[in-house]
Structure 1
């Protein structure tokens, strides 16, 4: 039978038992208990530090071995697309097919209609047509000037920052079927009672969180020349573009998804408390009130998600009228906690919470299916690419989040 680990309470009880006694053996035992107590206290301090860092650390995938990670990191989305084009056979496209087969073996997910599976953890993205055609010019001598393509200098769109994993959201990979997560909703009671008085009775109660796969996808058009370029920069820009759109869709849903239709339900609609503030006049006391909200709920916040139009205003808002009071937002922090800003957060909105209570679930991997015969794309010599990923988000404790939303000023 395993011996139960001793706690500081055990050490204290032993010390209280010999406190009024004296003698060499008692003194020796007291010194042993002092040393044991100091060791346990140091262990508790280290554990608190680790717990704090765990709440503050960015979210990380919770699966996949090292060799698989290395093979995946050496793969590009362009390889998977080119592997589905007629007549394209080379080493990289062969490896793309092999990797898709390995992903199918690991996940049990089968590609549809001859597509290829690609592991783009945490998710993927979409945008407009990519082309490498020469830029149009005018003038009699234009045809005499050659155009040098620089895919490494491609001008991408300005996109919303992805912040949920930076704030510490957990990522569950390789899910199959619906996922049930048990959750305790109430605890048994304890009370101080007098002689012959009854103790309170009652058991803990439980419910569960269910995560179900929801499909996010996009169809993009890519020029054949872009896919045929051997330049690593060209491949990187295609991959970055495909990754960006769906990752952004998942990040936005995790923060503010309303749960209607087939959209996941995110943090803001489920937050334990939502408070309105006068737009453009957010005060230091309102910021501090959010900390109190979470303290009352026994939640330990580790960061803020900040919407557009807030950061600059708070950096210019004094905490108080007195000289030297400082500003509400300083050095990228609010009330001593890091603040991540993104347009994926509704404009003017702030969310404070323990972001480890946000879970992002991924079923299988992204699937890429190429259609080189889509009518309009075919006429231009381009190919159409469809990207699909199944994912969902869940909030473990709604009380771990509080929201400030702007109302119209009077």
Structure 2
């Protein structure tokens, strides 16, 4: 029997396929008879999945309402309304760590120490695997939502779509339709948008996060938040590195830097003046506009060094060149800052990059939920040194998730390279 998350992923995949056909027709291209038939089948499949999801959600609500406690210490109750978003992940991790990875003992800890009988029930009946404990589907959306502030690509508006079977194929708009002037009695030239495939396939991200055992011993809800934040930050930081600058080798996603067209990699002017800085930023804007990018969610991403330079930049009269930065804008578009964009690029090791992206065209395909495993004896690298978790009274939390990243419209990303602006 399929669980709720699997059904939700399947429905999202069906919806993506329907949207691709609708986009094609919206662009002016007529659907073939086979595509019209396929649209009807997808519509029926979507309705069937929706009905199944509604029934499962209703069953889960009823089960939570009549659930029996694992012991007599606490009454049964559904998920606590006052719990912060994602706090459940912190409770799950703390409970598994305290129980040495045993879900049954972890369930007892969640109930008696964390006052979370709903999580205790999930741990007691949840799914384990050789790689760790699979976080129940009902708690995964909270984790994904918490990744938004931890990952600038997500925060800037990249769209998340579940991948039902670990792969997802969508249409990628490669060229627009055209129009022509004609003389009387001349056939009208045919014209339609060109589409190509965007193929996503799951890539495994493994985050190794050391957590203080003192946090595990505390019963305060603040401890749940700290454990949760450590895990989410570990995933979010590595995600940003992948979605921005990974090149697709060694089973990684292809980031923005390597999805950009060659003509959209624009070197910064070596002479740093106020006018040249304005011109360089304008070149990125022009690159997107010339690519017929809709600019629905345009935004900049840059390194902290670049931001501080732009904040300090003044003209000959001492006026700030970009005063809107104080309001989170640069040239009327939002920006985000991340250390995932290095400052040690280029021949001299002193260059950085600035990205301008219409994030409405950025797609994150989510293949699975989240798998948690723990180790109290493992070691990890810290500042180039091998550190023992046991000697530091820490527990290593391994979080595994699977996803991929792609752009639906390649001209929607432009990169200013060789940026040597320094405050």
Secondary structure of 1:402's counterpart equals strand
Contiguous gaps of at least 5 residues in structure 1: 1-63, 105-109, 126-159
In structure 2, the residue matched to 1:115 is: 133
Q: Which moved more, 1:376-385 or 1:80-89?
A: 376-385
Of 77, 82, 97, the residue aligned with 2:90 is 77
In structure 2, the residue matched to 1:244 is: 233
Instruction: Describe the shift of the 1:258–1:94 C-alpha distance in structure 2 as closer, same or farther (beyond 3 A).
Output: same
**Cα displacement (A) at 1:103:** 7.9
Whether the 8 Å contact between 1:115 and 1:370 is mirrored in structure 2 is: no
Whether the 8 Å contact between 2:363 and 2:406 is mirrored in structure 1 is: yes
CA distance in 2, matches of 1:385, 1:259: 26
Whether the 8 Å contact between 1:97 and 1:116 is mirrored in structure 2 is: no
Of 284, 287, 299, the residue aligned with 1:290 is 284
CA distance in 1, matches of 2:412, 2:126: 36
In structure 2, the residue matched to 1:337 is: 333
Q: TM-score when scaled to structure 1?
A: 0.63
Whether the 8 Å contact between 1:124 and 1:389 is mirrored in structure 2 is: no
Contiguous gaps of at least 5 residues in structure 2: 1-55, 62-78, 344-351, 380-387
Of 247, 258, 261, the residue aligned with 1:269 is 258
Whether the 8 Å contact between 1:216 and 1:390 is mirrored in structure 2 is: yes
Structure 2 matches for 1:138-157, cutoff 5 A?
none
CA distance in 2, matches of 1:407, 1:164: 20
Of 350, 356, 369, the residue aligned with 1:352 is 356
CA distance in 1, matches of 2:300, 2:238: 20
**Cα displacement (A) at 1:73:** 4.2
Q: Could you report, residue by residue, the CA deviation over 1:155-182 in whole angstroms, capped at 9, with x for unpaired residues? A: xxxxx96322232111224643210111
**Cα displacement (A) at 1:289:** 2.5
In structure 2, the residue matched to 1:393 is: 405
In structure 2, the residue matched to 1:167 is: 156
Instruction: Describe the shift of the 1:316–1:369 C-alpha distance in structure 2 as closer, same or farther (beyond 3 A).
Output: closer
In structure 2, the residue matched to 1:133 is: none
In structure 2, the residue matched to 1:157 is: none
CA distance in 2, matches of 1:217, 1:69: 30
Q: Which moved more, 1:273-282 or 1:68-77?
A: 68-77
Instruction: Describe the shift of the 1:261–1:309 C-alpha distance in structure 2 as closer, same or farther (beyond 3 A).
Output: same
Secondary structure of 1:201's counterpart equals coil
Instruction: Describe the shift of the 1:103–1:214 C-alpha distance in structure 2 as closer, same or farther (beyond 3 A).
Output: farther
Of 307, 310, 316, the residue aligned with 2:306 is 310
Whether the 8 Å contact between 2:90 and 2:226 is mirrored in structure 1 is: no
**Cα displacement (A) at 1:329:** 5.4
Whether the 8 Å contact between 1:169 and 1:357 is mirrored in structure 2 is: yes
**Cα displacement (A) at 1:353:** 2.1
Secondary structure of 2:248's counterpart equals coil
Instruction: Describe the shift of the 1:100–1:124 C-alpha distance in structure 2 as closer, same or farther (beyond 3 A).
Output: farther
Instruction: Describe the shift of the 1:358–1:204 C-alpha distance in structure 2 as closer, same or farther (beyond 3 A).
Output: closer
Structure ranking higher in helix proportion? 2
Secondary structure of 2:369's counterpart equals strand
Whether the 8 Å contact between 1:190 and 1:199 is mirrored in structure 2 is: no
Q: TM-score when scaled to structure 2?
A: 0.61
Task: Report how many residues are paired.
Answer: 305
Whether the 8 Å contact between 1:187 and 1:203 is mirrored in structure 2 is: yes
Whether the 8 Å contact between 1:123 and 1:243 is mirrored in structure 2 is: no
Q: Which moved more, 1:196-205 or 1:304-313?
A: 196-205
CA distance in 2, matches of 1:400, 1:254: 14
Give yes or no for the alignment of 1:207 onto 2:219: no
